[in-house]
Structure 1
Amino acid sequence: MKNWFHSWRAAVRIARRDAWRAKGRSSLVLAMIALPILGVCALDLTYRSSELSPGERLERTIGAADASFRDGGFGGQPILQTPQGDNYSPAKEDDSGGWPSGSADLRKALPAGARWITDTQGAAKLTTRHGLLQTDVRELKSDDPIARGIVTLLDGRHPQKADEVIATSAFLEQSGLSIGSTVSARNFDRPYRVVGSYELPDSLDTAQITALPGAFLAPYTKAAEKAGALAPGSSTTYLVQHAGGFTWNMVQEINTKGIAVVSRAVVLDPPADSEVPLYQRSGWGDFNSSPAADAMLLVSLGTVVGLAMLEICLLAGPAFAVGARRSRRQLGLVGANGGSRSHIRAIVLSGGLVIGIAAAVVGTVLAVVLTLALQPFLEEYMGQRFGAFDVRPLELLGIALLAVLTGLLAAIVPAVTASRQTVLASLTGRRGVRSTSKVLPVLGLVALLLGGALALYGSLVTDQFIVVAGGSAIAELGVVAMTPAIVGLFGRTGRWLPLSPRLALRDAVRNRGRTAPAVAAVLAAVAGTVAVATYTASSDAQYRAEYTPSLPHGAVSFFQMEEGGRDVPAVTDAVQRYLSVETRADVSRVAVGKPGCPPWGGGDGCGRYEVVVPAGNECPMWTVDDASEKFTAAQRRKMIREDWRCKESRGGGIYVDGGLLVGDARLLKVLGITDPGAARALAEGKAVTFHKPLVAKDGTIGVKQITDLKAADEAATNRKPVPGKVSSVPAHLVTGDPATYGLQVLMTPATAKAAGLATAPVGAYFSTDRLPSGEQRQKLDAELAKIGAGVDLTVEEGYVSDDSLFMLALTIFAGLVTVGAAGIATGLAQADAEADLKTLAAVGAPPRVRRTLSGFQCGVVAAMGVVLGSVSGLLPALGLRLTEERQQLRFHEQNLAEGWGGDLTPPYVLIVIPWETLAALLVAVPLGAALLAALVTRSKGAMARRAAT
């Protein structure tokens, strides 16, 4: 060995030979390092391939066009836009301070000599084999060269006639149709034949059909309006080809006509921000992520990578340590022939280097192969096609270097330990007297106390999650540093144990360099699991306590707003047929305007209504501008707590338009309202109300019918009375603040008619004798799909936690890591203690001792790691919950000070320990690990000749 290069070359050759000889141990370490590399490389390849370039994005949105034109919606007024065309606003606001509205003529903006096609998009309810399906509808000459890239034809051909369409594969799958089937829209008798299937490369799950321009949306809209249904909105984009494309100056010129432009040339070569007038406005910019957000992302990513490398090093380090001990005679010969400690360290480190390089190569190659093989499945999962298969060599090289670095880090401690062995001890096989470090436990205790203090400070003094998380991480690292000493404390319990567990515990304590890293790896995994499980269980308990039911338990309701409630009788019949209904209460709504108008107004001849709050009953804070300046925080808090005019009605329930429904006393029964005067008041022709501010001094409530929506919006903006006809109805106020589930006013159809209020069916409420089963719900949903109505169905099942699968997954994850780490430690212990096992066999120990010893070795490691991890994981969860409590209390007081109502009860944050998860980790996982290790271990080992001395 003439220089460092030759010495390292020799060390690498020795390490490569040793790795090949110990194939089992080498494969285990290689797999531990290569699996994370495989996952990260595959994630990088998938992300980069799915991240479309600007050119690929343009191909999927505007095809082969040079630009797309669309109406800005500001009546042809000049606009300012971003270079990408994804955001724009009027060049100047009108005198009222608002934005202009109206349409612009796109054709006037087309340059001379340009060629263009239209791309119109809307929606319709289409007939299918199962019923009706809300579907996107597109009108586009899909076989035109300009449209190349927007759609991908899979089968059949493009439409050539007005009665032909093509459909996405998602639509065909959902509808049960195929090429050759006919499809039509509701309220529209004209059939269309499906002549081909296609997909949208950027949205594989979209159900869509495409017809020729003018063949579907315009006649369908007229038919829908004639039938009294809501006319579907549609938008048209012009895809334009023009010699030379469209420069930024041309785009700005077209913007003066109120047209927004997506230019291929501008998107591929955008102008500087200083040349974009929109960016010069206050509040506008490039909207890129802030440096703080980028820094937080990098910190989070670095933390995850660091923890993963730490976990691998903790698991792989003992393997290198055992390998070094099994090669100690070879290392001793190196020392006997003049090798220095640096040469011995180089040989052991080269083992980590060889395994790391092999893991990097294997992980990277497998990632590329698997990503290519699974590309169709990945695309289906993400709902979009890849662009080009994007391989970034530098990124993959950086990920691969992590594998090499991990291998080297895992071999550092074994290398230093091996280099400290004397030549005589190495050649004779003696381990000598070993003592644990006394400094490391002290440092660990200091870190534990410091981290605990930081976490306590973060949870009780500050509101920063990062302080709690950082303190908890420091405390956990302190526990990891104390693990060798804690393992020694566990060893003192061995005097009360039988032979096999006593031997297992003694072996674990005597070989802390092998046991402590495995225990620390289990500790880290279990601590994270317990922390997340405790936080999740506490949050789940909080959600359960704060859950507000929409209806009484087991009750059912539905609302159908479209087409004047035409399908309400059919839906009502379906609910009664498939559910166990006890009481049914039909309800209607107040209708303003022509038949078929939606309750919120909109469209020609359609209005809306509102329940009037008398002037004397309005909360003072809600009737003046700048209430925060005219009332002090104490005054606002006092009004919220004491003034009945400022108390909001009980929250929860389903949305009831205006809080007013037209029905009878059966609705009171379904909602569980037992006030005897309410049913009597309905029979007397009075309206029943549950909200005191709605009742005027003369004992009536007012319902205002608003027909001029534009004037109403202007009046509301200027805080003026909204014009409209007010109908007064005698009212009965229900006291006691019962749960009304969103209902504020109820009147009978006769009372509404007497008040001059027109009504329209809107839905029904049902009480049931038992909750519907899954089969009943499926049958009902299938029936509603056949009816095709836009039904808002609510079944009150109470609070249903969706965290059970998550908690189970956490437990399984921690269990797998625990079993894996304990299994690795057990396998290394068996390899390291083979001489002891042969000695036991030689002195007459029964064969089962070998099996039971292996099981207890695995169980001891798992039990120690689980106990320490469970205790360590509670700290961050408790700290985060206490921090949340402080934040919610401050937010509650701030709401009261600003005059917001709602629940006046101060929030209380629950802390719940997930005992089921802890029991599974503390009992089931160590026991399962021990049984598994015992089952896979042979009872008899091969006898070997006496080692030469």
Structure 2
Amino acid sequence: MVAIPVAGLSGVALVGLSMVPTVDETIAVELGQAEARINMISSPDPSLIQRPARPGWHQVEMDSAGVPVNTQADAHLVDPATLVPADSTLLALRSTDVTIETATGIAGIPAVEGETWNAEFDPKYALVDGRAPQTNDEILVTAAGLDRLGVGLGDRATLLDPERSVTVVGVLDVAEYPDSKIAVFGRLGAFTGDTQPSVDQDDFYLFDHALNWTAVQQLNESGAVVLSKSVLLDPPPVGSYQLQASAELQGAATTVVTLTAAGVAFAVLEVALLAGAAFTVGVRHQQRTLATVASVGGHRRTLFQIVTASGLVLGLAGGIVGVAIGVLSGSLFMAITGDGSAVQYWGYHLSIPILIGIALFAMLIGWIAALLPAWTASRLDVLAALRGARSPQVVHRTGRRWIGISIIVAGVAMTAGGALAGTASFSTPGVIDNSSLYQLSIMLVLAGPVLAQVGALLVAPVILSALAALVTRLGTGARLAARDVVRNRSRSLPVLAAIMTTVFVGTMLLAFFGGSDQASRESYERWNAEGQMMVDLNGWTDGTSQIIYPIAPEVSTMLREQFGADKVSVLSGVQPASPEATDNSPKPLVVLRPEVRCELVSGSNPAGACDAPFWLFSNGSAPQIWTGTIDDLALILDEEVSRDAQRALRAGGAVSLYPQYVQDDGTIQIDWMPASTMVGDDQNQKVAPLSTKTIDAVVQQPAHPIHFGVFMLESTARSHGLAPVTLRVLASLPAPLDDADYDQLWGSLRSLTGGTDLLARYEAGPGSTIETSG
């Protein structure tokens, strides 16, 4: 009972510490052998400050509107080459992406331009096979890229946009990439066409010149943020620099410490209950031995020490065994789950001091678990124990019962108080306003159930008696067993404690992880029903011109033949105002019910104050109104269309997938708004519509919210002055698509559009990344 939780602690310690980098590991992965990485983020600003080891955390002085006060938006950035000594080496690396033909089709993959093969970047980048590119028509790939592209060293590959042929001349290993990651590398400008360093796009790596903290602060004033090897090795004292974001990091760290401390305390109590129950049973079996010791002059203190010493010995033994099992299990877990990335497990961080501490912690738990049995053993009836007689049952007064009930009430109150405190700590969902109150809520929620459990143990005799009275009616065997449990409480209560503790821990973990999973599922945003693929037929030809391709029949055939789609629908939509709209041409807008509001907030959850799906309040590029047949609506809903909905559609009405669109009179309201006022505005703003129409509507909600608002027949839409156009193909697929399938899909779509990318999206549901190409 001691070894099992200790094994868990040891394994978690090994895996957790291995996921935290040392300074040397951070330098190796982030910088290689470079002295610093410099990124220009603004024009010179004397107020720019950064965190020493996290240059991504930086800030500048701003006015009340959130605009920097010391720089202008169109101000030029300083060339970093002018900020470092002339005799130092400064290499630029640029991240981009390319479209390339693969063995199965076409894929968009990340690319890096610059001298990644330079030996000074090792081990961040390491050329493991072949040679460095000598021209812009030669590239390097990762090992996984060879398989994905279906090429070997010296073979040709085809880049698209624009189309040209390149030669694969080497294999590059990237420390932070998993083994399955595909990427390509080339000379500066090999993919973007810009062979000169770009101040606002490139990462600049400095060699042969160290930058201390003072030098980094001087570069900050020039508009740069810097990750410096010297600063990582010799950071400035904590508190010697000021940064607003550091409070957020400190709050996160405090939360982690709070959870860890509460978890350790919780483990001590739970393991003590489990091991204590075992020690209690063991002491009863040792009564005659202990009585013999007492009969030859042993004092109560001696008996107490004998039992507690056995707790120490067993605790240490359980700790050693548990540590060994935990280290072995953690090592096996990392070996199985490792993906080859240096940032997944930065190293094998086996901390001997921590493991020794865990073993000593186990010994302490054993000693604590033996305290109560030792106290009981020191007060045993020697003569009765030598005769083998059982000690008479002690009849406790109702005081213990009421104490237990009081403790249960206190535990429940603490838990409820923690829940209320946690709710009060959020200003809006997802935004913690009071971190101290939030940490207190965590402590209360963890401590409350444990305290209630202790109270339940005190009233356990009453519970056993009540259960015995119920089961006596089930037969002679049940009656005799119930009486035995009630009369031998010293034997039954430890067993009850062990079972109750185990069930309690299991239930708590299931509730915690289940609640987290459920919250994730509820907040997950689906574009269409799970198991469906959508292909939008509108694309951008030159980055500014949008075109709708009349290829719906070809896309439908492709989805059926290549991917086995059993149901395919071609959907038309009423286009909203385009992003470049500047005129007052009327565009239709489905109006939400007047009480539906969305007060946008800042923070990690901007939709936290909305009382409907967030996308309903956004005038984006996706249509609100879709048209098609009743079968098309059934595919959208992924269920049969209700009879009411069918009658409404045939009668010239509409079906709303959200009740927020249907007004009190049972209609949807369509306002024709000036196009220039719709782009970027939310529906809380009051702009007078050019005209308004209402259409009778019913509500049929899908199983989960999806990005379809209102549906009607095409004839109905046109009768109300709407102009739907073919915009999307929706298909139900028998299985998710893998990388090879997506390569094939993307290649097929580009062949239909003449090289333009279309958005293709498979909805896998929560727990899986939504696959997106284009």
TM-score norm. by structure 2 comes to 0.71
Relative distance call for 1:316 and 1:398 in structure 2 (3 A) is same
Distance of 1:61 and 1:169 partners within structure 2: 21
- Tell me which residue corresponds to 1:481: 458
CA contact (8 A) 1:37 1:363 kept: yes
Relative distance call for 1:479 and 1:793 in structure 2 (3 A) is same
Relative distance call for 1:382 and 1:742 in structure 2 (3 A) is farther
- Tell me which residue corresponds to 1:39: 8
Relative distance call for 1:177 and 1:408 in structure 2 (3 A) is farther
> 3-state SS of the aligned residue for 1:136?
strand
1:481-538 per-position Cα deviation (integer Å, ceiling 9, x unaligned): 2223422443445654555545544443343223212222322343455567679999
* 1:286 equivalent in alignment to 2:263: no
Where in structure 1 are there 5+ consecutive unaligned residues? 1-31, 223-231, 592-598, 602-606, 629-646, 680-689, 696-700, 707-711, 722-727, 804-949
CA contact (8 A) 1:94 1:100 kept: no
Distance of 1:275 and 1:299 partners within structure 2: 25
1:23-67 per-position Cα deviation (integer Å, ceiling 9, x unaligned): xxxxxxxxx212221221222222223311233212212221112
CA contact (8 A) 1:136 1:207 kept: no
Q: CA deviation at 1:349?
A: 1.6
- Tell me which residue corresponds to 1:883: none
Relative distance call for 1:705 and 1:461 in structure 2 (3 A) is closer
Q: CA deviation at 1:114?
A: 0.9
- Which of residues 397, 403, 407 is equivalent to 1:447? 407
**Letter of the aligned partner of 1:573 in structure 2?**
T
- Tell me which residue corresponds to 1:585: 571
> 3-state SS of the aligned residue for 2:107?
strand
Distance of 2:617 and 2:113 partners within structure 1: 38
Distance of 1:648 and 1:502 partners within structure 2: 56
- Greater share of residues in helix: 1
Deviates more, 1:246-255 or 1:400-409: 246-255
Distance of 2:113 and 2:612 partners within structure 1: 48
- Tell me which residue corresponds to 2:752: none
Distance of 1:720 and 1:733 partners within structure 2: 19
- Which of residues 169, 177, 192 is equivalent to 1:218? 192
Distance of 1:408 and 1:187 partners within structure 2: 71
- Tell me which residue corresponds to 1:264: 229
1:337-361 per-position Cα deviation (integer Å, ceiling 9, x unaligned): 2211221222222211111111222
* 1:139 equivalent in alignment to 2:139: no
CA contact (8 A) 1:34 1:363 kept: yes
**Letter of the aligned partner of 1:54 in structure 2?**
V
Relative distance call for 1:520 and 1:327 in structure 2 (3 A) is closer
Distance of 1:180 and 1:785 partners within structure 2: 26
- Tell me which residue corresponds to 1:641: none
- Tell me which residue corresponds to 1:235: 201
Q: CA deviation at 1:122?
A: 0.9
- Tell me which residue corresponds to 1:192: 166
CA contact (8 A) 2:627 2:712 kept: no
**Letter of the aligned partner of 1:657 in structure 2?**
G
Distance of 2:383 and 2:486 partners within structure 1: 25
Distance of 2:38 and 2:767 partners within structure 1: 45
- Tell me which residue corresponds to 1:573: 557
- Tell me which residue corresponds to 1:514: 491
Q: CA deviation at 1:126?
A: 2.5
Q: CA deviation at 1:453?
A: 5.5
1:282-312 per-position Cα deviation (integer Å, ceiling 9, x unaligned): xx35335446x65654443333333333333
Q: How does 1:536-935 map to 2 (within 5 A)?
A: 557-559=534-536, 562-564=539-541, 569=552, 570-575=554-559, 577=561, 578-581=564-567, 583-586=569-572, 600=579, 657-658=620-621, 660=623, 670=633, 674=649, 692=669, 694-695=671-672, 702-704=674-676, 733-736=694-697, 741-742=708-709, 763-766=727-730, 772-774=733-735, 784-787=745-748, 789-793=757-761
Deviates more, 1:562-571 or 1:409-418: 562-571
- Tell me which residue corresponds to 1:306: 265
1:60-119 per-position Cα deviation (integer Å, ceiling 9, x unaligned): 1222111222222x3566672313432445678677997445554333334211123221
- Tell me which residue corresponds to 1:57: 26
Q: CA deviation at 1:137?
A: 0.4
Relative distance call for 1:275 and 1:339 in structure 2 (3 A) is closer
- Which of residues 32, 39, 48 is equivalent to 1:80? 48
Relative distance call for 1:791 and 1:515 in structure 2 (3 A) is farther
Relative distance call for 1:332 and 1:741 in structure 2 (3 A) is same
The structure whose Rg is larger is: 1
Relative distance call for 1:233 and 1:555 in structure 2 (3 A) is farther
CA contact (8 A) 2:649 2:713 kept: no
Q: CA deviation at 1:271?
A: 3.7
Distance of 2:247 and 2:558 partners within structure 1: 50
Relative distance call for 1:175 and 1:406 in structure 2 (3 A) is farther
- Tell me which residue corresponds to 1:66: 35
1:880-907 per-position Cα deviation (integer Å, ceiling 9, x unaligned): xxxxxxxxxxxxxxxxxxxxxxxxxxxx
Q: CA deviation at 1:199?
A: 3.9
Distance of 1:792 and 1:413 partners within structure 2: 66
CA contact (8 A) 1:574 1:780 kept: no
CA contact (8 A) 1:75 1:102 kept: yes
Distance of 1:370 and 1:650 partners within structure 2: 44
1:369-397 per-position Cα deviation (integer Å, ceiling 9, x unaligned): 55455544354398735445334343323
Relative distance call for 1:369 and 1:575 in structure 2 (3 A) is closer
CA contact (8 A) 1:425 1:432 kept: yes
* 1:201 equivalent in alignment to 2:164: no
**Letter of the aligned partner of 2:709 in structure 1?**
G
Deviates more, 1:93-102 or 1:42-51: 93-102
Q: CA deviation at 1:407?
A: 1.1
Relative distance call for 1:608 and 1:187 in structure 2 (3 A) is farther
Q: CA deviation at 1:443?
A: 1.9
Deviates more, 1:140-149 or 1:546-555: 546-555
CA contact (8 A) 1:168 1:207 kept: yes
CA contact (8 A) 1:612 1:704 kept: no
Relative distance call for 1:784 and 1:394 in structure 2 (3 A) is same
Q: How does 1:323-338 map to 2 (within 5 A)?
A: 323-338=282-297
Q: CA deviation at 1:147?
A: 1.0
> 3-state SS of the aligned residue for 1:793?
strand
Q: CA deviation at 1:762?
A: 7.7
1:438-478 per-position Cα deviation (integer Å, ceiling 9, x unaligned): 45433212222444456677889995666676555433321
**Letter of the aligned partner of 1:417 in structure 2?**
T
* 1:320 equivalent in alignment to 2:279: yes
Relative distance call for 1:652 and 1:194 in structure 2 (3 A) is same
Considering only aligned residues, what root-mean-square deviation do their CA atoms show, in Å? 5.4
Distance of 1:374 and 1:580 partners within structure 2: 41
CA contact (8 A) 1:188 1:220 kept: no
Deviates more, 1:537-546 or 1:383-392: 537-546
Relative distance call for 1:506 and 1:436 in structure 2 (3 A) is same
**Letter of the aligned partner of 2:492 in structure 1?**
T
Distance of 1:268 and 1:45 partners within structure 2: 24
Relative distance call for 1:164 and 1:432 in structure 2 (3 A) is same
Relative distance call for 1:446 and 1:175 in structure 2 (3 A) is farther
* 1:355 equivalent in alignment to 2:329: no
Distance of 1:541 and 1:374 partners within structure 2: 26
Distance of 1:233 and 1:743 partners within structure 2: 47
- Tell me which residue corresponds to 1:873: none
